[in-house]
Amino acid sequence: MSPTTTTQPTTTSGRHDLDYEPWRFWSEADAAQRDRQQALQEELAGRGVRCGERCFVSALASVTTDVLELGDRTYVAAGAVISGDVRAGRDCSVNPYTVVRGEVRIGDAVRIGAHTSLLGFNHTMDDPDTEIHRQPLRVQGITIGDDVWIGSHVVVLDGVRVGGKAVLAAGAVVTKDVPPGAVVGGNPARVLKWRTAPPAPEAPPRDDLAAAVARFADAARAQARAVLDRCWDPATGLFLDAPGVSATVRAQCDAVEVADLLLDGPPPQLPATEQVDRLRSWQDASTGMMGELGPDGVARRPVTGLFDPEAAYHVLSVGYALELLGSRFAHPVAVVSDASLEDVLHGLREQDRLADPWATGHWVDVLGTALHRNRELGVDTPPGATEALLGRLLSRADPRTGMWGRPGPDGDLLLTVNGYYRATRGTFAQHGVPVPYPERVVDTVLAHVRDARYFHPGRQNACNVLDVAHPLWLTRATGHRSDEVVDVARTLLGQALGRWVPDQGFAFRASDASTASLPQARPGLQGTEMWLAIVWILADLAGVSDALGYRPRGVHRPEPAADLGASQI
């Protein structure tokens, strides 16, 4: 082991305030103090210690490590004792008189209170005839996840893994693994409460899951009429997403999709021919778009260009609702058919400038779907637009993630993964073209689905779950990490089945005590349509979709809506 650092710089007052309160150092230290800290870190670097930007290591700490890595803005206070193989991420604190010894891995944003001990090794005592100090050490190591708060006077023993976002209460003696998001305390430590939603129970065995899926499907079909009646306004002859809200174009389309899935036909509240006539009448002939409904139930006139944000999704929802009703658009999507190839390319370049993966995916989805609908009507303009769109996506895919756009702060993959679903839905999936880098897509999705901010059972919503389920289904033929994919599908499916509200359907987002009052936590047509599709995709990945007795045929259909591969060259 390396020798202990012994230099002891002081503050200008002759005291060591900043050594004991190092979070103040970079805002309050004078030039001389900063120079001494820099010199100390250079000395440590000579002994193999790696310090990130704006780290602080007190000269009053004992550092005798074989390996020490400190991420950006991590500090070690006076009196701390660090030895062995220790690696900490960014924004961590090792407060006064803390002991970190042995093999210890600490994630990002971990705060460790004073007088705490993390002991990543242990003595053995197997031979009673040999003094303990002569018996070998055993090292299993300690792993601390991200965003963990460890209070003062805590002891964490060798072999323990602490999940992200956990809290170890002051004085706890931690002898066993701590689940993510748990608050533990006592000796030995036990779970007192949860900082985040508790982890879901494991998915049931396949036969039990298939039976649960069948029971769900039977109940949903039996209650489908009640779900639709709840959202039907006989005064206007329009569907509402939920009682008490305004009628929307999408609500009419969601009703069609729900009825097709559960009743194998159109919504019974209105003859199918009237529903077709109404949806077709909302299409503006000059743009081919469908504006949102006003208070009078009349569709507003869309703005020109690619695309009116208020009307864009209706290219998907109305187009597929008409298809389920045996019809199609009355007019081409003129904002696409009247555009030039340069207009399309300019729109794609504009998405690059905005640098928002979800917004780009949405725009691409609408464009790809408009091209598909126009081709149905015999309008294939602008020439080369489909090839240019697919070619640009192929050439811009990141070989490290298989996706487009960069992760957000702290590696957040939400917009990247959600944007990937939208972009591939309207292009590769809709047109039957294989996606690039499918194994990297699986890796990225499996990394994202571990993010408790979005996938704890109480925090899920239909978009986030759909946007991981569909890419896993789209890439399933690779077999890459298939056991993990099936486990994820089974777990998410088991959670989804329990969210059906009798005679009301699904809410868009899961609810808990803190979110139950939110509009998105109320059952409605959008949530019901999306979760029914999600349930099928997850059930198919889990091998139990036959038990459902339905298969999505609308916006969230699994098969291509068109086959470019069958076209003549």
Question: Is beta strand 238-239 parallel, antiparallel or unpaired with respect to 49-51?
Answer: unpaired
Token duo for residue 460: 């899920």
188 preceded by cis ω (within 30°)? yes
Every domain range in the chain assigned CATH 2.160.10.10: 17-194
Q: Which of 313, 255, 288 is nearest to 379 (CA)?
A: 288
What is the model's pLDDT at position 203?
59
What is the model's pLDDT at position 515?
66
CA 470, CA 560: separation in Å to the nearest integer? 13
What is the model's pLDDT at position 128?
82
Q: Which residues of the chain have pLDDT under 70?
A: 1-15, 199-206, 512-516, 563-569
**What fold characterizes domain 206-561?**
Glycosyltransferase (1.50.10)
What is the model's pLDDT at position 384?
87
Give pTM, 2 decimals.
0.68
CB contact at 8 A, 103 and 68: no
Q: What one-character DSSP code corresponds to residue 409? A: G
Long-range contacts of 108-112 (CB under 8 A, 24+ apart): 108/71, 108/146, 108/147, 108/410, 109/146, 109/147, 109/148, 110/144, 110/146, 110/147, 110/148, 110/149, 110/150, 111/148, 111/149, 111/150, 112/150
Which amino acids are annotated catalytic? 123
What is the model's pLDDT at position 2?
41
CB contact at 8 A, 316 and 365: yes
CB contact at 8 A, 548 and 531: no
What is the model's pLDDT at position 569?
38
CA 389, CA 270: separation in Å to the nearest integer? 39
382 preceded by cis ω (within 30°)? yes
**What one-letter code names the amino acid at 524?**
G
Domain 17-194 is found in CATH 3.30.360.10: no
CB contact at 8 A, 522 and 507: yes
Q: How many CB atoms lie within 10 A of CB 173?
A: 17
Task: Please state, in angstroms and as integers, the Cα–Cα distance from residue 456 to each residue in 5, 16, 65, 415, 489, following that order.
Answer: 44, 44, 37, 18, 14
| CA angle at 492 for the pair 488 and 498, rounded to the nearest 5° | 155
Every domain range in the chain assigned CATH 1.50.10: 206-561
What is the model's pLDDT at position 204?
62
